[in-house]
Structure 1
Amino acid sequence: MTSTLVFDPLLPWALIAALAATMLAGLALALWRGLSGWALRGLAALVILAALTGPVYQQEDRAPLSDIVLLLEDESASQGLSDRAALTTQAAQDLENRLTARPNTEVRRITVPDGQDNTGTQAMTALAQALAEEPQGRIAGAILLSDGRVHDVERAPDLPAPLHLLHTGREGDWDRKLTIENAPAFAILGEEVTMTLTISDEGAAPEGLEDVPLDIAIDGEEPQRFNVPLNRQIELPLTLPHGGRNVLQFTTPMVEGELTDRNNTALVQINGVRDRLSVLLVSGEPHPGGRTWRNLLKSDSSVDLVHFTILRPPEKQDGVPVRELSLIAFPTRELFLEKIEDFDLIIFDRYKRRGILPSLYLDNVRNYVETGGAVLIAAGPDFASADSLYRTPIESIVPARPTARVLEERFRPEVTELGQRHPVTAGLDGVFEGEWGRWMRQIEVEQTSGDVVMTGQGDRPLLVLDRVGEGRIALLASDHAWLWNRGFEGGGPQLELLRRLAHWMMKEPELEEEALWAEATGQQMRIIRRSLSEEVGPVTIITPSGEEVERRLEEVSPGRFEALYDGPEIGLYRLENDEHFAVIGLGPAAPVEFEETIASAAPLSDVLEATNGGAKPLAGGLPRIREVNPGRPASGRGWIGITPRGAYETLSVTQTALLPAWLVLLLAAGLITGGWLREGRRT
């Protein structure tokens, strides 16, 4: 039971002060006039003022509340190094026992896990959330069991009591880490990519080392080993071997004694893109479809187009002097002998033999395809004639043979069952809404190799694709694709079809018909297998630790099979399916939890100082716990302090007025009357 005097004024304090000033002025006037009753009148004024302040005698029945100590246990990834986890668990249990053994003290144990999305240890966020759930007046202190590598110091709350750090590091701890900087997301094929690499030692590292080994592997292949200087920043030039995603793994072997090898490896994923695509378009003669090809290729800013149209063949004898022709000679030797390897794609648009390209040049075209080049033949009536391009040395690589028939009937192109699975024609129905317009002419051909992905009249081959050696060839048995571009009978997906066709021939990775790859979202990967087959076998996943896991692939659309897999660890995963394989890195290239592994109180120094707390190593044993007054130092040699708060809960309150109204009236009236009588007797 506690007793206090409280005031519950009947008027605002400002008004009471004004009344007091008025009464004081009246008393001063009475003294100046020499009135003998001034003292009694003054006492009456004091009684009235005291009554207006509302003095109350208050008695409270209180129940004391216990002090609360917050005990935060860091369970982030870096706390799994060495014996830190065991040390933290044992220390937390011993601290809880010591604190709960103290009178009037409770403990709240709080777990601090890894932050989401590689944000590291979020200890201050956890502390702020715990404070929000407890009464501030009962918090006597907070103790953090951690390596001190906290990544949200800027979110530290205002603490009403000391915060202490008991760190889990040891004096002899050391670690080696590999850091990659300036790693681009994209790089141009054939050009060097320069990254900055540093291998550094931290903590009590052994001395005398100058060079350390570095292994570099691309797409999970056999790594190449180099020796690089230690504790020095070096520039590392690399050239990507292929287009699409390139997974580069940099590793320095673990050395006995270091804390972990988790920061000895860095994964960098770079997409290789072509700087420019060089295309040679040879038109046999002007026709409406020629502009379609030109517009398509010129609309792509990444394409360098060289276009020749044969306007005046050698057999044309019209007597016009050459000096009056604003034309240039066709540089056949330069294009087809000297610089043919510079082109990514060659398109023959309605070209026929006219003696312009000798057989030697066309034989060089065949060799160009077999060694990795690409040729597209857009056939017109010329392909069915005696001067057909088919009847040249490239006959051996063309996937269909002309029958010499030209079908001049309307037909609507259709995607074959195989074409529904091929990336060039898959999903074209969804690209263009509505029924496709018809074409007017088709060259009859008989398939000899390759894949028929589109058909025309009477299910005859219309678009045939084939791989020859290391290169590719395509035959479009009609010169009326331009009708779709003009919107004839509603048009069709002409732009998308020709774009995909050109990019498939130039070996763009996203248009490979047999491919295996994966897309990562956090620690989950979506495994994708594209195939022309109706069924594919399960995919084998090899984790960074070497464990093999199998997953069945489900067909989600024609030719596309998928599966989801949650990776149990950060690192490089290998995927294998039949003869196809792929690699993918899950998690961050450099986990923030392993960027700094040596325990330190430096990140929290400002927060600890602001609360008068301190930092102690757990390896030296638990410190003693003392009680300290607010504002006093709460840490010393071998001890830490908590601040008792003396919080309580009020069970009941009793209030008694010191000046009841009847007493005020009686006293004020008596004193005023006494003053009047004294002054009247004197007169």
Structure 2
Amino acid sequence: MTQTIVFDPLVPLALLIAAAVVVFAGLALALWRGLAGAWLRGLGGVVVIAALAGPNLQREERGNLNDIVVIVSDESASQKLAERAEISSTATDRLEQTLMERDGTDVVRVTVPDGQGDAGTQLLTALNDTLAELPQSRIAGAFLVSDGRLHDLERAPDMPAPLHLLMSGKSSDWDRRLSVTNAPAFAILGEPVTLTLKIEDMGAAPAGTGFAPLEISIDGGPPQRFEVPVDADIELPLTLPHGGRNVIQFTVPSADGELTDRNNTALIQMNGVRDRLRVLLVSGEPHPGGRTWRNLLKSDSSVDLVHFTILRPPEKQDGVPTSELSLIAFPTRELFLEKIEDFDLIIFDRYKRRGILPTIYLDNVVRYVQEGGAVLVAAGPDFASADSIYRSPLAEIMPAAPTARVIEQGFRPTISDLGNRHPVTAGLPDTQNWGRWMRQIEVEPSAGDVIMTGVDDKPLLILNRVGEGRVSLIASDHAWLWNRGFEGGGPQLELLRRLAHWMMGEPELEEDALLAEATGQNMRIARRTLKETAAPFVVTSPDGSTTELSLSETAPGRFETQFTGAEIGLYRLNDGTHETVIGLGPAAPREFEKTIATAELLQPLIDDTRGGVARLEDGIPTIRTVREGRPAAGRGWLGITPRGAYETLNVRQTPLLPAWLVLLLASGLILAAWLREGRR
């Protein structure tokens, strides 16, 4: 029980102060006048002022509250390395038992697993959240049982008591880590890009590890092995083999004695893009569509266009001397023999045989396509004539043969059933409002896919693969009407862009492909096919286990499904025809970036609370009681600070100056003063 004096004034404080001023002023006047009973009158006034202040004797009955000690146990992935989990669990159990055996001490134990996604160890977040739910006046200390590798230092709490670290891990631990310090998300095809890697030996690494083997694999293929220096930046020039996503895996084989090999792999996903699309446009003669082709191609800043229009064919005889003509000679040999490989796409726009391109040059175009080139033929009336380029070596790669009929009537281009499934034409906008074309060349398809039709469903746009290359045939020379806005026009620019990208083999426009996109540890798998169904496929996880999945159609020609990987790493997808690889999450999760136990991160926070660090390999320290403000750690011991918290069970107040006593004292003092003054 505690006793204190408290005041409960009967009048406002301002009035009480005014009354006190009046009393002391009267006392001063009486003393100045020399009144014999002045001091008695002053005491009487003091009694009245004291009574108005309402003094009470307060008695409190208090109950002592137990101190609270928080134990935060780190059970993240890095704590499962070597023997850390067992040592930490044993130490936590013994510490909890020791604290519970102390009188007046409660223990709150918190377990911290891996953070969501790749957030790492959220140790201080857990401590902060726990302290927020507990009364701060009872916190006597906190113990972190961890390897000290945490990833939320910004959540450090304001500790009212000592903070200690019981550090797992051994002083003899060592680990090897592979990291990629510089890796762009995109790279230009055909040009080397420089990646920066580093292999680090951390902790008590054995001597003689100046070099380490490095294995490099692209898209899950056979790895190449190199010997590289340790603890030094390695600049690696790399040229991507294909467009789209390239999955590059760097691996350092596990060494004897290192803590883990989870950080021995780095997984990089880079997109291969083309710097420029080099296009050769050969117009057989001037016509309204020629300028449209040129304008469309020149409007794209990523296109390098070389355009030749044949204005003066060899058979033209007008008597004008060649020396007086300001025309550029068609550099056929340079373009079709020496530099044909420099072009990504060759367009023949209403071109016909006139002796300008000898047969050997056209044979070279056929070889160019078979080895991976692309040719687009925009056919005009000449394609149906005896001078048609179909009647040349190019017939070997043409997907359709002309019937010699030219249809001169208006028609609205239509996407075929197959075209609705093909990514070049699927989903083109405003298909119902396209303007008409006025001419179509009748052809008979011999290969490839008809994705657009014209008059009476006759083939209008045909795509075909030839060897490693691709060929497209537009059986009309009136596509330019769309660009002029005739009858509302049409999506000529979008169609040409898709067509060019398909011919370049861009993955997003492949009509027969197995694709995957990753978000964290989830992947969306898509199968593009021109068939009505898609076969199931098998997912091979990093540990070698397999899962068979089926797909459902989400759009014409597109089948999709979702898959969540149980672990982080490289996954292989195979449907029997196609195979692709994709990486889920980082190859080396945040928990395994640095694995050597350390107190460096927590040391400033521990020092601020006068706490300490103890290695569990040296044994579990004893627990002592220390006064607040004193050092709470020493050799072989850690301390907690008793807080002396209590709860008030009962409060009683007794007036020190009851009314009858005030009346008796005040009247007695005033009467005594009157009598003394009267005698005198």
Q: Taking structure 1 as the reference length, what is the TM-score of the superposition?
A: 0.95
CA distance in 2 between counterparts of 1:121 and 1:515 reads 40
User: 2:309 — aligned with what?
Assistant: 309
Partners of 2:60 and 2:651 within 8 A in 1: yes
User: 1:484 — aligned with what?
Assistant: 482
- The farther-off stretch of 478-487 and 76-85 is 478-487
2:509 partner letter = L
- Once the two structures are superposed, what CA deviation does each residue of 1:361-391 show, in whole Å capped at 9, x if it has no partner? 1111111111111000011111111111111
Going from structure 1 to structure 2, the CA distance change for 1:419 and 1:433 (only over 3 Å counts) comes to: closer
CA distance in 1 between counterparts of 2:22 and 2:316 reads 126
User: 1:576 — aligned with what?
Assistant: 574
3-state SS of 2:127 partner: helix
CA distance in 1 between counterparts of 2:489 and 2:653 reads 93
Going from structure 1 to structure 2, the CA distance change for 1:522 and 1:11 (only over 3 Å counts) comes to: farther
User: 2:673 — aligned with what?
Assistant: 675
CA distance in 2 between counterparts of 1:309 and 1:680 reads 140
User: 2:441 — aligned with what?
Assistant: 443
Going from structure 1 to structure 2, the CA distance change for 1:527 and 1:15 (only over 3 Å counts) comes to: farther
User: 1:379 — aligned with what?
Assistant: 379
CA distance in 1 between counterparts of 2:589 and 2:414 reads 51
CA distance in 2 between counterparts of 1:52 and 1:180 reads 80
3-state SS of 1:382 partner: helix
- Once the two structures are superposed, what CA deviation does each residue of 1:468-504 show, in whole Å capped at 9, x if it has no partner? 1111100010112222223333322222111100111
1:38 partner letter = A
User: 1:526 — aligned with what?
Assistant: 524
User: 2:191 — aligned with what?
Assistant: 191
User: 2:289 — aligned with what?
Assistant: 289
- The farther-off stretch of 610-619 and 61-70 is 61-70
- Once the two structures are superposed, what CA deviation does each residue of 1:573-611 show, in whole Å capped at 9, x if it has no partner? 111122311111111244221121011111000111111
User: Structure 2, unaligned stretches of length 5 or more?
Assistant: none
Matches within 5 A, 1:50-199: 50-199=50-199
1:605 aligns with 2:606: no
Partners of 1:296 and 1:499 within 8 A in 2: no
- The farther-off stretch of 143-152 and 340-349 is 143-152
3-state SS of 1:667 partner: helix
- The farther-off stretch of 329-338 and 530-539 is 530-539
CA distance in 2 between counterparts of 1:197 and 1:579 reads 35
Going from structure 1 to structure 2, the CA distance change for 1:488 and 1:103 (only over 3 Å counts) comes to: same
1:260 shift after superposition:
0.3
CA distance in 1 between counterparts of 2:14 and 2:620 reads 57
User: 1:280 — aligned with what?
Assistant: 280
CA distance in 2 between counterparts of 1:49 and 1:191 reads 97
1:456 partner letter = G
- Once the two structures are superposed, what CA deviation does each residue of 1:343-373 show, in whole Å capped at 9, x if it has no partner? 0000011111122222221111111111111
- The farther-off stretch of 10-19 and 295-304 is 10-19
CA distance in 2 between counterparts of 1:12 and 1:578 reads 93
1:18 shift after superposition:
6.6
Matches within 5 A, 1:461-540: 461-540=459-538
1:241 shift after superposition:
1.3
- Once the two structures are superposed, what CA deviation does each residue of 1:537-588 show, in whole Å capped at 9, x if it has no partner? 2221111111122111222111112121111111111111223111111112
- Once the two structures are superposed, what CA deviation does each residue of 1:427-478 show, in whole Å capped at 9, x if it has no partner? 22xx336432222111100001111111111111111111111111000101
User: 1:454 — aligned with what?
Assistant: 452
Going from structure 1 to structure 2, the CA distance change for 1:661 and 1:316 (only over 3 Å counts) comes to: farther
3-state SS of 1:603 partner: coil
1:530 partner letter = R
3-state SS of 1:602 partner: coil
1:82 partner letter = A
- The farther-off stretch of 253-262 and 32-41 is 32-41
User: 2:208 — aligned with what?
Assistant: 208
User: 1:333 — aligned with what?
Assistant: 333
User: 1:654 — aligned with what?
Assistant: 652
Matches within 5 A, 1:414-453: 414-428=414-428, 431-432=429-430, 434-453=432-451
CA distance in 2 between counterparts of 1:276 and 1:163 reads 60
CA distance in 1 between counterparts of 2:190 and 2:57 reads 91
CA distance in 2 between counterparts of 1:312 and 1:202 reads 74
User: 1:237 — aligned with what?
Assistant: 237
CA distance in 2 between counterparts of 1:11 and 1:303 reads 93
Partners of 2:371 and 2:468 within 8 A in 1: yes
3-state SS of 1:437 partner: coil
- The farther-off stretch of 25-34 and 129-138 is 25-34
1:532 shift after superposition:
1.7
- The farther-off stretch of 97-106 and 476-485 is 97-106
- Once the two structures are superposed, what CA deviation does each residue of 1:56-86 show, in whole Å capped at 9, x if it has no partner? 2222233332222111111211111112122
1:396 partner letter = E
Partners of 2:421 and 2:557 within 8 A in 1: yes
CA distance in 1 between counterparts of 2:319 and 2:52 reads 127
3-state SS of 2:196 partner: strand
1:26 shift after superposition:
4.3
1:164 shift after superposition:
1.0
1:671 shift after superposition:
2.6
CA distance in 1 between counterparts of 2:14 and 2:600 reads 53
- The farther-off stretch of 332-341 and 230-239 is 230-239
Going from structure 1 to structure 2, the CA distance change for 1:288 and 1:664 (only over 3 Å counts) comes to: farther
* C-alpha RMSD of matched pairs (Å): 2.0
1:309 partner letter = T
CA distance in 1 between counterparts of 2:336 and 2:162 reads 82
2:438 partner letter = M
Going from structure 1 to structure 2, the CA distance change for 1:61 and 1:539 (only over 3 Å counts) comes to: same
- Once the two structures are superposed, what CA deviation does each residue of 1:131-169 show, in whole Å capped at 9, x if it has no partner? 111111121211111101121122211111111111111
3-state SS of 2:607 partner: helix
CA distance in 2 between counterparts of 1:207 and 1:10 reads 85
CA distance in 2 between counterparts of 1:390 and 1:625 reads 94
3-state SS of 2:601 partner: helix
User: Identity of counterpart residues, as a percentage?
Assistant: 69
1:6 shift after superposition:
2.1
User: 2:217 — aligned with what?
Assistant: 217
User: Structure 1, unaligned stretches of length 5 or more?
Assistant: none
- Once the two structures are superposed, what CA deviation does each residue of 1:237-296 show, in whole Å capped at 9, x if it has no partner? 211111111111111111111100011111111111111110011111222222332222
- Once the two structures are superposed, what CA deviation does each residue of 1:164-220 show, in whole Å capped at 9, x if it has no partner? 111111121111111111111111112221122211211111112221111111111
Partners of 1:280 and 1:343 within 8 A in 2: yes
- The farther-off stretch of 374-383 and 360-369 is 360-369
CA distance in 2 between counterparts of 1:330 and 1:673 reads 137
CA distance in 1 between counterparts of 2:14 and 2:639 reads 45
3-state SS of 2:502 partner: helix
- Once the two structures are superposed, what CA deviation does each residue of 1:39-61 show, in whole Å capped at 9, x if it has no partner? 22332333234234332222223
1:358 partner letter = P
2:53 partner letter = T
CA distance in 1 between counterparts of 2:235 and 2:615 reads 39
Going from structure 1 to structure 2, the CA distance change for 1:594 and 1:15 (only over 3 Å counts) comes to: farther
1:627 partner letter = T
CA distance in 1 between counterparts of 2:70 and 2:557 reads 57
| Aligned pair partner of 1:594 in 583, 586, 592 | 592
CA distance in 1 between counterparts of 2:2 and 2:581 reads 74
1:103 shift after superposition:
2.0
1:248 aligns with 2:248: yes
CA distance in 1 between counterparts of 2:21 and 2:657 reads 22
Q: How many residues are treated as equivalent by the alignment?
A: 680
1:410 shift after superposition:
1.9
Going from structure 1 to structure 2, the CA distance change for 1:21 and 1:188 (only over 3 Å counts) comes to: farther
Partners of 2:63 and 2:646 within 8 A in 1: yes
1:397 shift after superposition:
0.5
Q: Taking structure 2 as the reference length, what is the TM-score of the superposition?
A: 0.96
CA distance in 2 between counterparts of 1:555 and 1:193 reads 38
